[in-house]
Amino acid sequence: MTAVDLFGLLGSLLVGIGLYGLITGACALRKIVAFNLLGAGVFLVFGVIARRGAGAGFPGDPVPQALVITGLVVAFAATALAVGLLVRLAESAGVGDVDDQLLPAPKITLGPMPEPPSGTEERPASPGAVALGEHAQSRVVAVVPPADRDPDDQTIAGSCA
């Protein structure tokens, strides 16, 4: 077995490991990490193809190598977008994940802005309740967590601490 075959195998296995992590990742951040592992595997396969195309005095075919360089920059941009979405989700809804199977879905109500706390009407009980779009003039989306959800849930370090 040559070094090129060895790294080809490594690239293929990285794709497999990344795919497994992407599907089973316990939280969205783990999925993003796994997605980047998968990408690294794909790039390595590209590198192996470039290495096999060595010739004319070059250690590798420069065309796939140049493609990998642009690919790495684009992968960074995609990761940045995913991370940005995740952080904003955590900020605005108070949840750290996109897993919709384990927690009951929050009720999304469309309607006029809830009364301010000084009013007689009681605010939604949970501190997790967030009114989105406070700057909208007439209609807001209020995400009201279900009553059975423990607000202290968020602070317990769990499988993905």
Minimum CB–partner distance for residue 139 and other proteins (Å): 14
Residues numbered 24 to 43 that lie near other proteins (CB under 8 A) are 24-30, 32-34, 36-37, 40, 43
- Cβ closer to other proteins: 97 or 120? 97
Q: How far is the CB of 112 from other proteins (least distance, A)?
A: 18
Question: What is the rounded distance in angstroms from the CA atom of residue 3 to the CA atom of residue 59?
Answer: 14
Q: Quote the least distance from Cβ 42 to other proteins, whole Å.
A: 9
Token match 């192996």: residue?
48
Cβ contact 28:98 at 8 Å: yes
Q: How many amino acids of this chain bind other proteins (CB under 8 A)?
A: 98
- Asked if 140 touches other proteins (CB under 8 A), the answer is no
Q: Which residues of 52-64 are buried (b: 16+ CB within 10 A; e: fewer)?
A: eeeeeeeebbeeb
Question: How is residue 124 annotated by DSSP?
Answer: P
